Chain A
Amino acid sequence: MPDLGSYAAEVTAAYIGSIVLLLAIVGLSWRRYARVRAALDEVEKNG
């Protein structure tokens, strides 16, 4: 861990907040991608 000095809280908060947001958009996009793909397979199978 680098020595972030007196700004450790700010720098860490910036990184954690941003990484959480990036992971959230990737995760939510992937979840909907998988759900819609499964739903289409189901509709095509029954259709």
Chain B
Amino acid sequence: MPNDQMILHRKTAPEFKTVDHVNLVKPVHQKLDNGCNVFCFNSGDQELVRIEWVFSNLRFNPAKPLLNAATVNMLTEGTTSLSSTEIADKIDFYGAFLQVDYGHDHSQVILYSLNKHLHHTLPVVLDILTDSIFPARELETFVRNQQQKLQVSLQKNDFMARRLYNKALYGDTIYGLCAECDDYNALNREDMQAHFKEMIQPSNCTLIMAGKIEKDTQELVTNTFDKAWTNAEKKADISQPELQSSTEHFYFTKKPDALQSAIRMGRRIINRTHPDFPALQVLNTVLGGYFGSRLMANIREDKGYTYGIGSGMTSLKQTGSIFIATEVGADVCKAAITEIEKEVNKLRAELIPEEELSLVRNFMLGSLLGSLENVFSHADKFKNLYFSGLDYDYYDRYIEIVKTVSAAELKSLAEQYLDSSQFYKVIVGKY
């Protein structure tokens, strides 16, 4: 006779546990004499490290829309002592990876390096941060190549839809940036050097390192970026002009040959600093934040209109937004929009059934746990908090809200924030 354990109940799900807490690795903080804040995450077995130098973007100048992005993207293109080739060669030779990354609020230089090669790779970064010269020849190449890439991107409906959407929500600001090929021609070295001097200085930098960082590694980093790196006379102006949302809410760009239409719709709402943010994330997950979401279940899994649809929330320094994005068969574009609006309105009209809500709670907590894959992810979680001016209490509160927010509270949040008649709507393709 098989014992009870061996009788398989294939129709019944095994017992499971819910996640009730998450252990976050917290950083050690140190402020260097030059004003640079350093945060250090020490964990992991591999002898490697990721170091990020994060800078606030400077005040956006609508007359020079690409200046900030180009200055950051060209940081690896040459210094007084190292050519673009030499920088690339040194970094590659030591098996490191050096990236520059331009974001809406911050830009960063990221170095991935094995610990044993740090004494070769760090000086290259120091040189870049203190002495970039934006050589004319490299700028010319940069401009030409970016223009070509932009031409290709402009043929992609989802890229077009994203641009138009941002422009409508944020206007002529750093968030609404909608560069044309011609804007690249306005870039010049003098502007870039001035921008570089003001932006890339220690008092405008947060240095975040994560990996296997023993005392000597930490000292190597802080020693390299302390005395040898000084501030400019002018303090970085990181204020931003006010966002200007457009009064027009509907945008349609016709592409006669389109097989699919890109749809993007949504609106500005709050960012992470607002107490409603975690609960809205629950609402967003229900709507379109996971594979089993209502939008996926209806528009992909029931109707087959699309390969994928989702909703998301962004949290920026000045604002936040919730959006829905998809590419659907050109012939079903109108029908898809009707269904999207139906799903949004349903959140305002009906309570989310408890079974669905408990699934979403568990999913979100599991997903939080799963997002902490390695020491880099712990540093990423910290960045979410630090740059929003929040404390680690935020995640305790987040977990609590995900576990306990009620269907009635979610409905009232939907009524407050998700009025689809106020949504911006962008369609590229056929309508």
Do these two chains interact?
A: no
Instruction: Point out residues on A near B: beta carbons under 8 Å.
Output: none
Instruction: Point out residues on B near A: beta carbons under 8 Å.
Output: none
